[in-house]
A and B are shown apart, each in its own frame.
Chain A
Amino acid sequence: MKSAWARTICRLLVVLMVWTPYQIAQAGMIGTDQAVSTATQADRNTVLDFVGRADVAGQLQALGIDPATAKDRIAALTDQEVQTIAGRINNMPAGADATGILLLIIIVAAVWWLWRR
């Protein structure tokens, strides 16, 4: 039993050692997002964005999306986009439906027709 544990831990350590240099390498690069954005307080923004991401994921969940998917969806947004929709999802336009619109189209078309005549 003890040796099985030792073996598992050894394997884990090997895996971690393999991973470590790569992770440091990635950490050392300054990301393109930061080069492109004009934000100067990079560190502060990172914290804000983290809060924003969790916050937006929570809002999506409240609107009927399962937690794992919500996280994925937020991951695909840029920092700026997350900040745009945080706290505002309920009031933003959400494209939905083409029915129930005919009235408006008919009115507009009629005016158009009268004008062209």
Chain B
Amino acid sequence: MVAVAQIAVLWAAARQNARAAGVFVCASLLTGCASLAPQTALLREGLPQGLPQRVELTAVPFFPQVEYQCGPAALATALAASGVSATPDDLVSQVYIPERKGSLQVEMLAAARRQGLVAYQLAPRFEDLLRELAAGTPVIVLQNLGLTDGWHYAVAVGYDYDRGELILRSGETERQVLSFFVHEFVWQRSNYWAMVAMPPQRIAVTAEESRWLASVAALERAGGPRSARIAYRAFLERWPENVKAAIGLANSHHALGELREAEAVLRDAARREPDSVIVLNNLAQTLSDQGRDEEALPLIERAAAAGGPFAGAVRQTRQAILERISRTKR
């Protein structure tokens, strides 16, 4: 609000005596602008390395919003770009809240997962937004266009660095052009909230390892093991050392009844992290499910001896394996 007040004051001053005020406005804005749009000021110093001067993803479709439903419209736009055909109407029942006349950020992420995509919230950096666009991925951004409560989702589809402009699909405008400054001004009010929705075989160019893994795990929960299996494989190609991702891949295989594959993945993980209680437990369980309880027993005993936060789950697995063994002996 302080920023808005500052602008209003400056505007009034400028109107009274444009020419004289010009000097004052320029002087105060040179210091003020960096704080109004710090990342734009940073970008002005030079184009970050590896980025093209201009990008526009012209193939990204446009769904004009109806009523207050910019959430479903923005989401449908991003989904379509990732090969999922859903209309805003299809998505209303997943992300729209009638009484609030709007859509929550977490539900935007969740709805993309339910379509089998990896939904990832970008780091709050203007540069990352540009990097995703340069890599061909449209980005959903949350802006606040009102004086207090004008929250609005739009989809960034391109930029022109020389002109300092961002290109968006927004509301009822198919090709909205906003200066970096104006966009940052309305975008920073959501703490630079931005998300991408990627097909499971792809990884966002700005993805951070641990947060991308959390996004894939969330996909496993909401989008099912089939998409998750693809996403974990892609993850492990990029970060092969990650044991947690191996656990996720094995869990997806297991949920699909692919016990041999689950076993192979877990054995590989056990070689790299021999003391992981989760790996030992899940490997023992997978062996037991194949009727190989005698092989499973020493593994689950090791997991039980290690204790730790998963002791309860391990105890149950061990109990079940012992019961199966005594049943077959009878």
Contact = CB atoms under 8 A, between A and B. Distances in A.
B179 interface: yes
Interface in B172-203: 172-173, 179, 181-182, 185-186, 190
Interface stretch (B81-89, B129-137, B212-220): B212-220
A77 B94 CA distance: 12
Given A42-B310, A63-B99, 8 more contacts: A25-B254, A27-B316, A76-B222, A81-B110, A95-B71, A101-B150, A104-B145, A111-B25
Nearest to A43: B312
20 contacts: A25-B288, A28-B281, A30-B310, A34-B310, A36-B217, A36-B248, A76-B221, A77-B222, A84-B106, A89-B97, A93-B102, A94-B103, A94-B104, A95-B103, A95-B108, A95-B142, A99-B171, A104-B150, A112-B179, A117-B22
A117 to B, nearest CB: 7
The dominant DSSP class at the B interface is: helix
Interface of B: 4, 7-8, 10-11, 14, 22, 25-26, 29-30, 33, 65, 68, 70-71, 74, 93-94, 97-111, 113-114, 142, 144-147, 150-154, 170-173, 179, 181-182, 185-186, 190, 213-214, 217-218, 220-222, 244, 247-248, 251, 254-255, 277-278, 281-282, 285-286, 288-289, 309-310, 312-313, 316-317, 320
Contacts of B312: 42-43
A63 to B, nearest CB: 4
Contacts, number: 210
A85 B106 contact: yes
A30 B278 contact: yes
Contacts of A60: 97
A73 interface: yes
A93 B190 contact: yes
A89 B114 CA distance: 21
A76 B110 contact: yes
A108 B182 contact: yes
B20 to A, nearest CB: 13
A5 B320 CA distance: 33
Contacts of A109: 179, 182
A32 interface: yes
Contacts of A75: 222
A3 to B, nearest CB: 32
A115 B7 CA distance: 12
A100 B150 contact: yes
A97 to B, nearest CB: 5
A32 B248 contact: yes
Given A101-B150, A108-B185, A94 B217 contact: no
Contact of A73 (B26, B74, B94, B170): B94
A65 B101 CA distance: 12
B186 to A, nearest CB: 7
A21 B257 CA distance: 12
Contacts of A35: 217, 244, 247-248, 278
Given A31-B251, A97-B150, A98-B152, A112 B181 contact: yes
A110 B103 CA distance: 31
Nearest to B109: A81
A95 B282 CA distance: 42
Nearest to A109: B182
B115 to A, nearest CB: 10
Nearest to A88: B104
A63 B244 contact: no
Contacts of A107: 4, 7-8, 11
B311 to A, nearest CB: 10
